[in-house]
Structure 1
Amino acid sequence: MLRRWLVLLALVLAPLAGALTARAHQQKIAISTVALNPRTGMIELAHQVPVHDAEHALAAQGVKTPDIIGSAKSREAFAAYVTRRFLIEIDGQPATPAYVGSEITRGSLWVYQEVPAPAAGRAVVRVNSQILTDVWARQENRVNIGGGTAPVTFIFRLGDDPREAPLAP
């Protein structure tokens, strides 16, 4: 009798757990970091996006069966998408970051990019992150400018204007 009751309870709760899991996948947040690497003379960009959200973005772009985990082609397609959706200007000049690579860590896709830093090693960086805002209107993107313990952090939502901050070694 108890066994039958537990099986019935499991059958009732299983669809609820699946619904909660599906809802939990869409985190609707991306985090980008823009930092100067004085050793390389490059401004490095690192974008962290949940894998499931990245796959949704590719599907919305018309990619059939995107596979961020198993396909380098899908990861590179998402990196190209990030380049289109993340505006960066350095000292008033538009910059197009070069794709360095990507990796998957704990359910997040990391996309790495870089752009040459000004010779002086200091710059005013103007950014606007609209990553995934074309997929979800409630998307929130955080951008950290600078490294260390005191970065400037901006939060962007759909339609927000660019913001700027100084970037120094």
Structure 2
Amino acid sequence: MALFFAVPTMAHQQKIAISTISHNPLTNLLEVVHRVPLHDAEHALKSRGAKASDIVTDIETRRMFARYVGDRFSISREVGAVDLLLLGSEIEGGYIYIYQEAASPGPGEELLIFSGIMTDIWSRQESRVNIGLGPNVDTLIFQPGDQPKTATLP
């Protein structure tokens, strides 16, 4: 006789956001993609006082989170801030992807990058930024209280 017990399962916050910055030589644009676990994103919105936090079905909630990510991420060059355009977002699997782009400074330029995605909410949050694609990737890791960091666009 086999006994089966119902074990409650709970989604756990991963407390990690991953952003990728790359130069697209075909468009000469700097492309930024942010990947955040849905569970973390919804909890972040709740902690910031959002009434609705269903990012999957409520487009305005999704836009609210995309704007939050855009406000907590920046790139600067020696001549000033890079004006990142928020293109939109999509849900895939258990993640929300947020897309931004800007005129690219081009490979070899030093950038000053800041990613505080959810680091203002949780003390154990980590926000990683990958610069480049393929074999030429550098990674910056941001935790609460960190200042902007420099990286060179491959």
**TM-score normalised according to structure 1 size:** 0.83
Partner of 1:134: 120
State the alpha-carbon separation in 1 of the partners of residues 64 and 99 from structure 2: 13
Which of 44, 50, 74 lines up with 1:57 in the alignment?
Answer: 44
State the alpha-carbon separation in 1 of the partners of residues 107 and 140 from structure 2: 22
RMSD: 1.8
Partner deviation per Cα, 1:135-161 (whole Å, 9 max, x = no partner): 211001110011221211011100112
Q: Deviating runs (4+, > 3 A) in structure 1?
A: none
Indicate the structure (1 or 2) with the bigger Cα radius of gyration.
Answer: 1
Percent sequence identity is 44
CA contact (8 A) 1:96 1:115 kept: yes
**Structure 2 unmatched ranges of 5 or more:** none
Q: Which residue identity does 1:62 align to in structure 2? A: G
Aligned: 1:123 with 2:85: no
Q: Which residue identity does 1:159 align to in structure 2? A: G
Equivalences, count: 154
**Structure 1 unmatched ranges of 5 or more:** none
**TM-score normalised according to structure 2 size:** 0.90
| TM-fit CA distance, 1:98 | 0.8
| TM-fit CA distance, 1:122 | 4.4
Partner of 1:164: 150
CA contact (8 A) 2:18 2:36 kept: yes
Which of 150, 155, 161 lines up with 2:136 in the alignment?
Answer: 150
SS in 2 for 1:138: coil
